[in-house]
Amino acid sequence: MVKVSAGSYDLNTWLYGGYENDIVTVLYGGAGSGKTNLCLLAAVSQAKKGNKVTFIDTEGGFSVERVKQLVGEKDGVQEVLKNIFLLKPTSFEEQKKAFVELNKRLKDQIDLIVVDGMTILYRLDFADARDKSDEALQTINSELAKQMKTLAEIARKKEIPVLVTNQIYRWEDEDRMVGGDILKYWGKCLIELVNDKGRRIAYLRKHRSLPEKSLDFQITNSGIKKRGWI
Ligand SMILES: Nc1ncnc2c1ncn2[C@@H]1O[C@H](COP(=O)(O)OP(=O)(O)O)[C@@H](O)[C@H]1O
Ligand SMILES: [Mg+2]
């Protein structure tokens, strides 16, 4: 099976080679749990090899400074950045347009698609729509479903790996994903990231060929490392 590097030796080992090519992988967790780091790591790893990345950043998490650290070398950062096509929607309407742009760009080479913050702008619209009408709510829900379906189809038909991040919210003592069923359905690999008072853990919650398991990790200048015994 073809996989795309997660950009970290330890993450790749944990995932038996990396993220799968023909599906959408959903990384979810609270603020600061490492979602953007994992996205940047995978993106930089592809861009370094001269591969093309389309990166949709809805929360301004894409940091050139962090990219520089991950690239490691002083030169080469510009080359890496050239291979990353960045789209920065600031409303759910703009996110919809970003997907139109993504579809247009499919005729060119794309080796990895990242949507960092899939439901952030959706969530803002959701609050408005809920106050308006059921139809308004249905409209934005079906737009989110349509975007996830588009990503899943691109992954399956074109074998372009897709990474999506998602937030969680607390409901009756339980952490739930925003846009729950939609993202769970279209994401064939689900990885939960947790920062428990400084102890970072990745949980493989759903995978087509691997069992549920976890990985203690650290975020370092150069990326993600497995945490050894203390
Ligand atoms: N060079 C680094 N070394 C160690 N930790 C870092 C480094 N760069 C960022 N971090 C940590 O990464 C965390 C932010 O992770 P991020 O991927 O932005 O989370 P999320 O996208 O889930 O909100 C912060 O806790 C920050 O301290
Ligand atoms: Mg982030």
Give me the CATH number covering residue 93.
Answer: 3.40.50.300
**Encoded tokens for 170:** 């607390």
Structural domain count of the chain: 1
Of the residues 219, 221, 224, 227, which should be mutated to test ligand 1's pocket, given the most ligand atoms within 8 Å of the CB? 219
In the reported structure, the alpha carbon of residue 134 is separated from the centroid of ligand 2 by a whole-number distance in angstroms of: 30
The residue whose CA is least distant from atom 15 of ligand 1 is 34
This model's pTM is above 0.85 = yes
List the domain range (segments joined by +) for residue 66.
3-226
Count of CB atoms situated within 10 Å of the CB of 71: 20
What is the pLDDT, as a whole number, of residue 228? 77
User: Is 63's C-beta closer than 6 angstroms to any atom of ligand 1?
Assistant: no
pLDDT for 179: 87
What distance in Å separates the CA atoms of residue 143 and residue 28, rounded to the nearest whole number?
20
pLDDT for residue 230: 54
61 lines ligand 1 (CB under 6 A): yes
Q: For the chain, which ranges sit under pLDDT 70?
A: 229-230
Task: Give the ligand at the shortest distance from the Cα of 61.
Answer: 2
Q: Which atom of ligand 1 is nearest to the CA of 40?
A: 17
Expressed in angstroms and rounded, the spacing between residue 133 Cα and the centre of ligand 2 is 31
The enclosing H or E element of 162 equals strand 162-166
What is the Cα–Cα distance from 163 to 114, expressed in whole angstroms? 5
Atom 5 of ligand 1, nearest CA residue:
219
Contact 218, 200 (CB under 8 A): yes
Closest Cα to residue 212, out of 189, 195, 196? 189
Q: What is the Cα–Cα distance from 47 to 3, expressed in whole angstroms? A: 16
pLDDT of residue 127: 87
**Binding site membership of 59 for ligand 1 (Cβ less than 6 Å):** no
Q: Which residues surround ligand 2, an ion (CB under 5 A)?
A: 35-36, 61
